[in-house]
Homo-oligomer: A and B are copies of this chain.
């Protein structure tokens, strides 16, 4: 018997749908273009048509790939959150969180710079801020799964959900703080300090005693 699962494409006619991975890469590329435009001219002054032209697609397909203009920043911000998710998932039971963060919490420097720029611009752009918050919330189930495993509780347990949301909030607050801490030089010790601080707060949250009976 075959070990490969049947994806239903055996003898299938017609053009195959694009891979989910391809779609993600494409959205990310457009996102980078959009953020560049947003940074240069501001969000309100950047039109959907400009984004589409910069990305080399028609406006129609742009609106198929993104629900709103502001949500064009989402894939880029996701790079940052995905990096953190990777940290949580690869966190060995024994390791010290600070050390692990230092080793595993990495991403392309130019993406990091762009992410921090978006976070800064989200202060005066409510639409962008909303995307940032919604994106953070969407990451919570993943956090809950990781935390639940660590605590030996189901991922939909209320305590686990609350704690996942708390971890999420800590990550957001500290990311904001990093973005606003003299953003001129993110490659300096600020990043390390940010990571240490994050590790410290997360340890406090994850070492919380279980709920009383």
Which chain A residues have a beta carbon within 8 Å of chain B's beta carbons? 67, 126, 129-131, 133-134, 137, 158-159, 161-162, 165-166, 168-170, 172-174, 177, 197, 200-201, 204-205, 208-209, 211-212
Contact = CB atoms under 8 A, between A and B. Distances in A.
Contacts of A130: 130-131, 133-134
What number of copies of this chain does the assembly contain?
Answer: 2
Contact of A67 (B67, B126, B205, B208): B126
Q: What's the dominant secondary structure at chain A's contact region?
A: helix
A94 B63 CA distance: 55
Centre residue among A67, A133, A168, A212 by max chain B CB count within 10 A: A133
The 6 closest A-B pairs by CB, nearest first: A165-B169, A130-B130, A166-B166, A133-B133, A169-B169, A162-B170
A195 B170 CA distance: 24
